Structure 1
Amino acid sequence: MQTVKNKIVFISGASSGIGKACAESFAQAGAKIILCARNTKKIQEIANALTAQYQTEVLAIPLDVQEKHAVTNAIDSLPAEWQAIDILVNNAGLSLGLEKLQQGDIADWDAMIDTNIKGLLYLTRKIVPQMIENKLNGHVINIGSIAGIHAYPGGAVYCATKSAVKVLSDGLRMDVVDTPIRVTNIQPGMVETNFSVIRFHGDQQKAAAVYDGIQPLTAEDIADIVLYAASAPAHVQICEVTVTPVHQATGRVIYKEKK
């Protein structure tokens, strides 16, 4: 295995859930972390906590990945010592609503497409050329979803965005095949974070019901896999990992114990 110590890791959507857990895993391993999210106060608090606990360098930058020009400006404005990004973790993503397609909220569709697809594209387009120019053994790790493999009722648009993440990961892997850059797509099943709270527009009761009767994955479970993929020997490319709780087979084939 190779070390990620002193490597620069850029993590989007780092203010909570999988992004936050990835930040902690990489910080513990000695990497230098760039955290980005819309919540400026939260990512700065996380940065301060990681620096204090692990004595590593952490840079927090406020960024909404949906904004193309904001992404460009944020990357261009990085201090010189932070510009050679070794690992990009495209984690920013969300799901909104669970209505049938013909009844869906177009504003929800726009938010999912702009974050899950366009945000990933904007960061990848800006950072990967720098990896190539700097002759880095770069690594792009995309956080996809089992929803990108199997659609389910009420989730057509979200599933489509995560299917796009899978295809974009495969396409990028082909496009950088003549470089030392690796591309990994992580496809989790049920992970208990604020994902369902956001999906149900803040309805805590509905969100909690999603995980009743099953032990879901944790954000830390996914962060462990991300770190493992990044730590694999330089000649080893982990292309794709699909991970679910034991009692989940697909997005909607789930066994829940009755109370």
Structure 2
Amino acid sequence: MGLDRSMQNIAVVTGASSGIGAATARRLAGEGFHVVAAARRADRLATLVKEIGPHATAVTCDITSDDSVAALAGTVAELGAPLTLLVNNAGGARGLDPVAAGSIEDWQWMYDVNVLGTLRVTKALLPALEASGAGTIVTIGSTAAFTPYEGGGGYVAAKHAQTALVGTLRLEIVGKPVRVVEIDPGMVQTDEFSLNRFAGDRERADAVYAGVKEPLVADDIADIVAFAATRPHHVNIDRLVVRPIAQAAQHKVHRER
């Protein structure tokens, strides 16, 4: 199962079956990485890896499962090449309920995926990243990580916790050869994020971006991930906040009528 491509460096991308994750997997393969694309949906991963070609490996993985994440780490080890990049992209939002009516089930899911999922994968792969001598962890957060908004309590809380995890990790491993990067996008229009948030309600999902000229797209974030990951290794981009020009702040969005 090992790679025979002059020890091509490995990049692991979670949540790679769609959106930012899939775009990032494509972009990193183009940058010379062998991409391990991890996500729950095996059929989507198979299509992606077929598109990318020999520079990608699909691993069906549920980041809320200890066993599944351990299997991911095992597959990476079997490839026999240095793991130099982890992109913690898997995450998501559910619902837009006020705190007073917040769904415990939705809040639990958001914490499990955004926070504990990031923790599981980071713990499992950090030894290999350190052993490479030039590791990088990129975590895709959100502007919700530092700006609350009405109806976003569960997602805001989860993303605040995720950014606290990232910042703490950076402090704890200083002096080791692993960079810790956080990328916090604002409005990114993808096929599934808002659709999943609103349980498949296309009208509500589309309304999020109604009138917004050129919201960010998945390729924009993939471009930024590639930029951060390919800087000289002594350069650490602690946090990069990115919004479309139409979004001045979480609550300030220009919509054309």
TM-score range, shorter chain: over 0.9
Matches within 5 A, 1:1-259: 6-51=8-53, 56-78=54-76, 80-82=78-80, 84-132=82-130, 134-193=131-190, 194-214=192-212, 215-258=214-257
Where structure 1 has 5 or more consecutive residues not aligned to the other structure, the ranges are none
Q: Quote how far apart the aligned CAs of 1:168 are.
A: 1.3
CA displacement, residues 132-160 of structure 1 (integer Å, 9 cap, x when unaligned)? 2x242100000000011100001011011
Q: Identity, % of aligned pairs?
A: 37
CA displacement, residues 167-204 of structure 1 (integer Å, 9 cap, x when unaligned)? 11111111111112101000000000111000000011
Of 198-207 and 249-258, more deviation after overlay is shown by: 249-258
State TM-score, norm by structure 1. Answer: 0.92
Q: CA RMSD in A?
A: 1.4
Instruction: Check the 8 A contact 1:68/1:119 in 2, yes or no.
Output: no
C-alpha distance in 1 between matches for 2:223 and 2:59: 24
C-alpha distance in 2 between matches for 1:77 and 1:6: 15
Query: Are residues 79 and 178 of structure 1, via their aligned partners in 2, closer, same or farther at CA, if it must alter by over 3 Å?
Result: closer
C-alpha distance in 2 between matches for 1:103 and 1:82: 49
Secondary structure of 2:248's counterpart equals: coil
- In structure 1, what residue type is equivalent to 2:61? L
C-alpha distance in 1 between matches for 2:10 and 2:200: 34
Query: Are residues 14 and 210 of structure 1, via their aligned partners in 2, closer, same or farther at CA, if it must alter by over 3 Å?
Result: same
Runs of 4+ residues over 6 Å off in structure 1: none
State TM-score, norm by structure 2. Answer: 0.93
Where structure 2 has 5 or more consecutive residues not aligned to the other structure, the ranges are 1-6
Q: Quote how far apart the aligned CAs of 1:252 are.
A: 2.1
Secondary structure of 1:88's counterpart equals: strand
